[in-house]
Structure 1
Amino acid sequence: MSYPSPTSRSAAGTLLASTAALLSLGLVAPATAAAANGSGTATEKQAPHATTAVLDLDGAGRTPVIRGADRAYDTASIVKVDILAALLLEAQDAGRHLTAAERKLAEPMIRRSDNAAANTLWRAIGRAPGLAAANKRLGLTETTGGSGPRWGLTKTTAGDQIRLLRAVFDDAGTAKKGRGALDAQSRAYVRTLMNKVVPEQTWGVSAFPGSAAGQALKNGWLQRNTTGLWDVNSIGQVTVKGHRYLVAALSNGSASMSDGVSLVERAVRDAAA
């Protein structure tokens, strides 16, 4: 799948709105408007880099195939899946469902990548310490929450994102009671939202060759203050010939968001080879 999508006008509007919100958090460079339409240039030389991890949920193994160095990347908005998982664990521990107010924030946070909703829920889970507590239960070992309000600067690896995706999509051995992992209802809720991402944000892991329609995914994009370069990431589940694949593609160093999307989609296609 190439970028921009057929809904490029809508995508551009969504990007500009998201970028403005990130600017208010100090997560993007001031010259965002030019970068958002692809005309920005990097202030430092840095080669773009990508890492992918793929796990066949219906295969015999449980170890993902990783291409590229499994080093830490900024999450940008893919951390919103982790934030929602942490919120759901808190609700499970209290023996309750999400409130209407929590759902009103969670749904746009995943479906439209709403940053204001993420800000509120990041505070609700206790920011980085709350994320760390949830991730310990979910089996993530290489993810560190961003400092203060900067959830987009959470660090993670492609391998750890597969662990997060397993917590959401892998039913085998994950249905625990008490202070365990996500229960079946929580997993279904996250899956439903990831299946309903707005069309202009369905690039990324959807480029996996042979994947059927209706993939569940979450993408993230972020221009760094220090370099003007872009972090662009995509995580999710795709189905190919009856097999469910968990896919994580993380990247940094792109001169524009569109370059980053192209890099991620090339990496996803290569990972399927």
Structure 2
Amino acid sequence: MESPPRRRARPLLRGALAAVVVLGGTAYGSSGAHRAAGPVSSSSAPASGSASPPAGEEASVERVARPTVDRDAVLARAMRAVDVPDGARVSVGVLDLASGESATFGEGSFDTASVVKVDILAALLLRAQDEGRRLTPTERADAAAMIEHSDNASASRLWRAIGAAAGLDAANERFGLTDTEGGDGMLWGLTRTTAADRLRLLRQVFGEESELEAASRAYVRTLMGRIAQGQHWGVSAAADGSGWALKNGWLPRTATGLWDVNSVGRVMSGGRELLVAVLSDGDTTQGRGISLVEAAAVAAVSVFAGDDAPSE
């Protein structure tokens, strides 16, 4: 399903993105800079010379609403700086785990390629939970190869184990995914999905409220943090240092010669834990697709730049 990855290309994000981020910070500022004033208690002593409200009446106090940020609009502006080649499509989503705020850009569904392997493992773990058992040694070996090395033979065995598309769709329904449909037969890489659904699945893995038990979530996170050296690209381009866990997918289409290139995962940036999903198709080469995905990931993370990072 996948061919060996090529040498990572530089992201296509231009200097204009820096201006977008600065503009976004100027327009919205940090959350602390616009902190709403606390309500004035009706029991507070009146200022000298002021009259107290009549008995039985409460002082009228107008609450100051905290300004809200249109994250979708901020992401749309950031994506203007991303060079999307003619004929290519890209969709991206980002979610801040602490606040639950999210933003998405781009419409339509995309082939998953190998990012569906996270779904396959999540569905396998959910089935094992329902059966009150742990994964077998063989299942664990296949899971590790499938996620860490993107091994297709392992993915095909586990695809059959979960009941192929029907089993995947049933698990995804429980995970709250609404726009993902399993591929026909053994074509798991042609599962269709959206960036918003990728964020929903990532939240099942990295969030606390999940159909997956804590041990299952930790297992998936561990494997996504051990991706083979040659696959350290994609959403990791938006992380601070090595603070990332991901799964990439790449698929050349025989009919057109064009590429599907995707990346999903968790990144640490500016003290925030962010879930990022980027889907693309119509890329002329894998390298160009990687550059597009990485630029979109950087743009997505910039949505929260300038905000106060959550305190410990």
TM range (shorter): 0.7 to 0.9
Could you say what the CA RMSD is over the residues aligned between the two structures, in angstroms? 1.6
Whichever residue aligns with residue 144 of structure 2, its letter is E
Whichever residue aligns with residue 110 of structure 1, its letter is I
1:195 aligns with 2:222: no
CA contact (8 A) 1:64 1:159 kept: no
C-alpha distance in structure 2 between counterparts of 1:272 and 1:47, whole Å: 25
Q: Which residue of 2 aligns with 1:64?
A: 102
User: Which of the numbers 145, 150, 157 marks the counterpart of 2:194?
Assistant: 157
Deviations 1:122-180 (A, max 9, x none): 01100000000100111111000000000000000000000000000001x32xxxxxx
Q: Which residue of 1 aligns with 2:92?
A: 52
C-alpha distance in structure 2 between counterparts of 1:257 and 1:150, whole Å: 20
The gaps in structure 1 that reach 5 residues or longer are: 7-44, 175-180
User: Which of the numbers 77, 97, 100 marks the counterpart of 2:114?
Assistant: 77
TM-superposed CA distance for 1:46, in Å, is 6.5
TM-superposed CA distance for 1:267, in Å, is 1.0
C-alpha distance in structure 1 between counterparts of 2:243 and 2:227, whole Å: 10
Q: How many residue pairs were aligned?
A: 222
C-alpha distance in structure 1 between counterparts of 2:167 and 2:103, whole Å: 29
C-alpha distance in structure 1 between counterparts of 2:131 and 2:115, whole Å: 26
Partner SS state of residue 181, structure 2: coil
TM-superposed CA distance for 1:242, in Å, is 2.2
Whichever residue aligns with residue 219 of structure 2, its letter is Y
C-alpha distance in structure 1 between counterparts of 2:171 and 2:300, whole Å: 29
CA contact (8 A) 2:8 2:290 kept: no
1:236 aligns with 2:265: yes
Q: Which residue of 1 aligns with 2:296?
A: 267
C-alpha distance in structure 2 between counterparts of 1:46 and 1:5, whole Å: 21
C-alpha distance in structure 2 between counterparts of 1:167 and 1:272, whole Å: 20
CA contact (8 A) 1:212 1:238 kept: no
TM-superposed CA distance for 1:224, in Å, is 1.1
The gaps in structure 2 that reach 5 residues or longer are: 1-5, 10-84, 303-312
Q: Which residue of 2 aligns with 1:170?
A: 207
Alignment identity in percent? 55
Q: Which residue of 1 aligns with 2:247?
A: 218
C-alpha distance in structure 1 between counterparts of 2:103 and 2:158, whole Å: 32
TM-superposed CA distance for 1:5, in Å, is 4.4
Deviations 1:59-112 (A, max 9, x none): 2xx34201222x100000000000000000110001011000100100010000
Deviations 1:218-272 (A, max 9, x none): 0000011221100000000001132100000000000111111011011111222
1:104 aligns with 2:141: yes
Larger Rg: 2
1:106-125 equivalences under 5 Å are 106-125=143-162
